[in-house]
Amino acid sequence: MLRYLAAVALAAAAAVVHANDIDPLCSRVLAPAEAESLAGVKPLALVGPSQVRFATGTCNYATKVAGEKTLVLLVSVTRKSGEKEFDQLKSVAIKPHSADGLGDEAFTAEGVVGFRKGETVVSLGSFVDQKTGRHRVNQSKLLELARVLAARI
């Protein structure tokens, strides 16, 4: 997961938005209320890169734990990158497995789903709850979220 987050951070650095900006794409493709329902985590809010540590995705969904904002789900959308970006993303995933029905190519790995539709690459990552050691969004729900995004992108 750390290798995946490092790769996402590098990709996000290339497309930095202003510190508190939230990409308008996020509300269009996956509004917080829908993310809550699909992920099974409430409440969720979209947060900007400076609001929560490790918020390096295009869309960062966080909740409050012990009064502090904590990342739950990170969605990165990279346009006009295609196969090379997808291959790079997949290469840093731990034990990736092919997945069907998400676009031209897709994979799942622990806490991660990635897919490519044409020149657009999308990755979803679930953060680990430090108390339980489990991902805050389980793999089946992450895959369900990916299917919703794939239908909209």
- With bands split at pLDDT 50, 70 and 90, how would you rate the model's confidence at 73? very high
13 pLDDT above the threshold of 90: no
Q: Where are the domains of the chain?
A: 2-152
Contact 81, 34 (CB under 8 A): no
Mean per-residue pLDDT of the chain: 86
Beta strands in the chain (DSSP E): 45-47, 59-65, 68-78, 97-98, 105-109, 112-117, 120-126
CA geometry: angle 92, 39, 153, nearest 5 deg = 65
What's the CATH class of domain 2-152? alpha beta
Number of H helices and E strands in the chain, helices first, is: 5, 7
pTM metric for this prediction = 0.82
Q: What is the per-residue pLDDT for 3?
A: 54
Name the one residue in this structure whose structure tokens are 């409430």.
42
